[in-house]
Structure 1
Amino acid sequence: MGGMSIWHWAIVALVVVLLFGGGKLSGLMGDAAKGIKAFKQGLKDDDDDVKTKKPDEEPKA
């Protein structure tokens, strides 16, 4: 009881596709991928800033 079988997930996926349509769903996933790439690029930029900072500089508060 309480467990979700593969058939439950298949029905949920079918309902989602019917509600949102294939085009909207793929567009949403593309936007999510762009957001993840931008987040990773931001983390990389922050790491580069830390590595290039001179040791005698004090961090700004």
Structure 2
Amino acid sequence: MGGISIWQLLIILVIVVLLFGTKRLKGIGTDLGGAIKGFKKAVSEEEKDADFEQKKQVEEKSAAEPVSTETQSDVKEKS
């Protein structure tokens, strides 16, 4: 009734195996797995690069701000 049953999926699987063969399907699976692994690696490297850039910007910003070495007591003594 509108859905795909398990038997229909099994028939499709058998037809695909007969058409392509197990070696070709194994190769496709290996290639697909390698592509997914490469994608995950690229995403994690991108996140690391973004974190590094944020830290670098914070360090540059803090280095650009002048640091006052005078304390409030030093300012009062000068007055």
* TM-score, with length taken from structure 2: 0.67
Between the aligned residues of both structures, percent identity stands at 39
**Residue identity opposite 1:5 in structure 2:** S
Larger Rg: 2
**Residue in 1 that maps onto 2:47:** 47
Q: Take 1:23 and 1:34, find their aligned partners in 2: how far apart are those partners?
A: 16
Q: Take 2:12 and 2:21, find their aligned partners in 1: how far apart are those partners?
A: 13
**Residue in 2 that maps onto 1:3:** 3
Greater helix percent: which structure? 2
Structure number with higher relative contact order (C-alpha < 8 Å, ≥ 6 residues apart): 1
RMSD (CA atoms): 1.4
SS of the equivalent of 2:2 reads: coil
**Residue in 1 that maps onto 2:35:** 35
The number of aligned residues is: 57
Which sections of structure 2, spanning at least 5 residues, go unmatched?
62-79
Deviation, 1:4, is 1.4
* TM-score, with length taken from structure 1: 0.85
Deviation, 1:5, is 1.3
